[in-house]
């Protein structure tokens, strides 16, 4: 039976009212003025927290035959998909519904990797479904889902558009053949700041610790981002650093926090204070700053001279999903270059789909030339990946950061 209306069946649930990682500010192409550049994508962006699970690195013989999808349930980060005009549903979602004679329940309830995992952990451990067909964990969390056996491998016959995945993202160590995942979007963790408030241009990670900025700086509570940047500022490679290196960086963060340098540790909510001018400098995500700059041209995003951290959020089918086939059709749909271009033009993060830059060059040349969305080699050479410390070391570093942040 065909869906009953143009709106079909679109349910969107947003938890929390803060301006979040996927900022609620206008998605304007003015953000392209932040940086200019061309072609290429981040080299080895996908290579982060690896796993020893052999299944993750082998071909899988999976079959999910075509079936009636019913209602597909998708959990994504807030404001991470293009929206329709005048408050109408996302044309990406309504387009997929029409193409597949199906409905979608689209939840914007993925606010934090650990928070989401904790919310569904009991069901996972009891070998139950979590009420979702598709989720969007960041690389290191996707590795955990795969390693612990909580992910369903995809039937690649249902995702022929996977061929459009940018080559440098095709073989992350935690899912070497992309048997389980496909990137949704990628981005950079660097520094967001207001040069007028700071009184100068920033160049280094260590500028965050300038005493003149005391109480006007925030950092993420997630150690992979914050301690990773601090390690780069200490002259170490955050991608290959040891547990002890990370503990040293966290100790430095703790010392700065105890001196009052760091206003607070944030999750998705830092953009509100930055937009209001309460913050002068902060650890930030690239896509947010593209969006924030469209609203406030005074704001800048910095890839520090020492480098920055890169990551991807990934589509993954959780265990006991009711419609793996439906999830695969959505993966395939959003890897159509035209559809991917619509998403990229709205969210302003790295787009993992080949052909999108060419489309946007005609439609929105400023955006197509933004290195934060389509970085050139000089930019990608500055980017480092999340580390693979191993489970035991990961827990120790996490505990150390939680002690510093009070979380």
Is residue 260 in some structural domain?
no
CA distances (Å), origin 246, targets 1, 14, 141, 227, 255: 55, 34, 18, 6, 14
Q: State the pTM of this model.
A: 0.80
Q: Quote the crossing angle between the two packed helices 243-258 and 391-405, to the nearest 10°.
A: 0
Is residue 158 in some structural domain?
yes
pLDDT of 60: 58
Domain housing 55: 10-22+51-186+312-354
Element (H, E) at 398: helix 391-405
Is residue 118 in some structural domain?
yes
For tokens 């395939």, the residue is 332
Q: How many domains does the chain have?
A: 1
Using DSSP bridges, classify how beta strands 281-285 and 181-193 pair: parallel, antiparallel or unpaired: antiparallel
Q: Is 359 helix (H, G, I), strand (E, B) or coil?
A: helix
Q: CB of 194 within 8 A of CB of 268?
A: no
pLDDT of 335: 99
What CATH number does the domain containing 165 carry? 3.40.190.10
pLDDT of 39: 35
Is residue 5 in some structural domain?
no
Q: CB of 277 within 8 A of CB of 25?
A: no
Residues 354, 356, 362, 368: is their CA dihedral positive or negative? Answer: negative
Is residue 161 in some structural domain?
yes
Is residue 39 in some structural domain?
no
Beta bridge partners of 60: none
List average pLDDT for each run of 10 residues in the chain, which is 407 residues long.
37 41 39 38 41 47 94 95 91 98 96 91 98 97 95 98 93 91 96 98 98 98 95 95 97 98 91 95 94 93 96 97 98 99 94 95 94 87 87 93 93
Assigned token pair, 44:
């080895």
Is residue 270 in some structural domain?
no
Is residue 18 in some structural domain?
yes
pLDDT of 267: 81
């Amino acid at each position: 039976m065909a869906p009953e209306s143009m709106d079909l069946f679109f349910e969107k649930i947003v938890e929390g009212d803060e301006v979040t990682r996927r900022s609620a500010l206008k998605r304007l192409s003015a953000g392209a003025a932040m940086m200019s550049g061309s072609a290429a994508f981040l080299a080895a962006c996908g290579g982060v927290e690896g796993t020893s699970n052999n299944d993750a690195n082998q071909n899988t013989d999976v079959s999910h035959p075509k079936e009636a999808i019913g209602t597909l349930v998708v959990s994504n980060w807030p404001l991470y998909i293009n929206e329709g005009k005048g408050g109408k549903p996302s044309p990406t979602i309504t387009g997929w519904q029409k193409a597949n004679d199906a409905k979608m329940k689209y939840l914007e309830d993925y606010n934090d990797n650990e928070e989401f995992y904790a919310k569904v952990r009991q069901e996972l451990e009891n070998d139950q479904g979590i009420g979702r067909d598709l989720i969007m964990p960041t690389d290191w969390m996707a590795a955990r889902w795969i390693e612990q056996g909580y992910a369903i491998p995809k039937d690649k016959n249902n995702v022929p558009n996977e061929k459009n995945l940018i080559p440098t993202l095709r073989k992350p160590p935690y899912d070497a053949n992309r048997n389980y995942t496909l990137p949704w979007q990628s981005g950079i963790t660097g520094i967001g700041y207001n040069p007028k408030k700071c009184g100068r241009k920033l160049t280094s990670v260590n500028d965050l610790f300038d005493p003149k900025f005391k109480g006007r700086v925030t950092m993420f509570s997630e150690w992979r981002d914050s301690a990773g940047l601090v390690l780069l500022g200490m002259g170490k490679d955050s991608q290959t650093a040891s547990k002890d290196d990370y503990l040293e960086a966290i100790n430095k963060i703790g010392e700065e926090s105890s001196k009052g340098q760091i206003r607070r540790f944030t999750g998705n909510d830092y953009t509100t204070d930055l937009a209001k001018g309460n913050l002068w400098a902060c650890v930030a995500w690239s896509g947010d700053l593209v969006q924030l700059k469209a609203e406030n041209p005074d704001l800048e995003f910095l890839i520090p001279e020492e480098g920055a951290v890169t990551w991807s959020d990934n589509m993954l089918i959780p265990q006991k999903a009711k419609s793996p086939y439906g999830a695969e059709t959505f993966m395939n749909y959003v890897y159509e270059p035209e559809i991917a271009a619509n998403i990229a033009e709205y969210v302003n993060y790295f787009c993992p789909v080949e052909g999108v830059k060419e489309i946007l060059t005609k439609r929105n040349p400023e955006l197509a030339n933004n290195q934060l969305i389509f970085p050139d080699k000089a930019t990608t050479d500055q980017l480092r990946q999340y580390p693979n410390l191993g489970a035991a070391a990961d827990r120790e570093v996490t505990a150390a950061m939680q002690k510093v942040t009070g979380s």
